Amino acid sequence: MQKDTLVFDLIRKELDRQRNGIELIASENFTSLQVMQAMGTVPTNKYAEGYPGKRYYGGCEVVDEIENIAIDRLKKIFNASWANVQPHSGASANAAVFLAVMKPGEKFLGLDLSMGGHLTHGSPANFSGKTYQALHYGVTKEGIVDYDQLEAKARAEKPKMIICGASAYSRDWDYKRIRAVADEVGAIVFADIAHPAGLIASGLLNDPFDHCHIVSSTTHKTLRGPRGGIITLRHDFENPWGIKDPKGNLRTMSQLLDLAVFPGSQGGPLEHVIAAKAVAFGEILSEDFKAYGKQVIANAQAMAAAFNKRGYQLISNGTDNHLMLIDLRNKNLTGKKAQETLDKAHITLNKNAVPFDDKSPFVTSGIRVGVPAITTRGLKEPHMETVVHLIDRVLMNADDEKEVAAVKGEVSAFMQQFPLYPELG
Ligand code: DSN
């Protein structure tokens, strides 16, 4: 068969783009070569609907072993008693959690998307907001989760589920406080830790498993695995709604979640991606990964200080994790303009609404900046000063094409010190 040069040339072009740029999208990372290699392998050919030992197809004995390794390693990472590694994405994982816990029309409470939350936490444009009754809490004017508001809404509305977790929030979470009000009103606490999961895995942030009934994540952000999702429980428990299996036994939450993933919302699992998840989970269990997590936080702190020094306004004045949200209004720039201009200099990040934003989500007043990917490339604290200097030069000269082009050249030269996949030639 002739090689599809059209597509493979573009894949090569994407490798060059990744190599030459400064990647600051807070939800992105670079997997190890072996994680990527595991993904491009023969389990992609295999149908394996069901779970290890209980499949609907023959010939699953090898993928059963692969999936069991992924499950066992994931349980070890989070000291969990149960894990499902089949969700194709974080959104699919969250869809399965909703399916297991909620009936259409029932109420849940989540962080507002415009305040840093996620689409699947009740956006009107998403299944979560269309199928269920979404209620929201926000952040205070200082940019910290408004726990008083969360508690008041929970008491007034008695939601069936409370979601904690965000995609643009730079502070740690008070899971204990959320669980206390949930117990008071009889709600399930569901933590979506897609963003900080790698830092939680390394013991560097509060542990949601101590207080949350259900935890989901993506695997490709700070966990540094392939694109995908997971659901985990530290403690399994009988469902409080009296749902029984055909033998009349109360179903456990893990059984409801397994059923919600397959056959509830997905068909055949992506066993090649599960193989890559298994490899990534093995890496997370190593000492190297703990060092990575510490470096992510050190880099984020150094970057926040470098932005502060130049008069940028960080929401909540700083960060506890891997990202920061910056309000650009005092710099007379929109998030859109900043993203588009930085793109021209090969500095990649995303425009982001800031809390109480007066601009549309297509324009926004802010940018979200994250360090997981550049930390994987080997940048350390002193390099954060250089990165912020380059960003500042672009933003302060946003209409000066020559200056932006000059920075693009410097970005590419600077990143040559940090080789990305040198084995790929
Ligand atoms: N889209 C992801 C992010 O960028 O944060 C969240 O799913």
- pLDDT for the residue numbered 394: 98
Q: Which domains are seen in the chain, by residue range?
A: 34-284 (3.40.640.10), 287-417 (3.90.1150.10)
Using the mean position of ligand 1's atoms as its centre, give its distance from the Cα of residue 156 in Å.
30
Q: pLDDT under 70 in the chain at which residues? A: none
Cα distance between residue 414 and residue 36, in whole Å: 25
Residue with tokens 């672009």: 394
Sheet holding 133-137, edge to edge: 82-84, 229-233, 214-218, 188-192, 161-164, 107-111, 133-137
Decide whether any atom of ligand 1 lies within 6 Å of the 27 Cβ.
yes
Residue 247 and residue 83: Cα distance in Å, rounded?
Answer: 24
Per-residue pLDDT at 280: 99
Q: If DSSP states are collapsed to H, E and C, what string results for 83-136? A: EECCCCCHHHHHHHHHHHHCCCCCEEEEECHHHCCCHHHCCCCCHHHHHCEEEE
Tokens of 334: 């929109």
The CA 167 to ligand 1 mean position distance, Å, reads 6
Give pLDDT, residue 375: 99
pTM across the whole model: 0.97
Single out the residue of 78, 56, 79, 51 nearest to residue 67, CA to CA. 51
Q: Which of 192, 216, 221 to mutate to test the pocket of ligand 1 (most atoms within 8 A of CB)?
A: 221
Cα separations in angstroms, 347 against 166, 311, 409, 411: 24, 20, 11, 8
Ligand 1 geometric centre to CA of 401 (Å)? 30
In which region does residue 105 sit, left (phi positive, over 0), alpha (psi from -120 to 50) or beta (all else)? left
DSSP summary character for residue 172: -
Q: List pLDDT tens digits, range 166-217.
A: 999 999 999 999 999 999 999 999 999 999 999 999 999 999 998 999 999 9
177 catalytic residue (yes or no): no
Q: What is the pLDDT of residue 129?
A: 98
- Alpha carbon distance 93, 261 (integer Å): 7
To test the ligand 1 pocket, which listed residue (118, 126, 369) has its Cβ within 8 A of the most ligand atoms? 118
Span from the CA of 372 to the centroid of ligand 1 (angstroms): 13
Report the pLDDT value the prediction gives residue 305, as an integer from 0 to 100: 98
Is 218 noted as a catalytic residue in this protein? yes
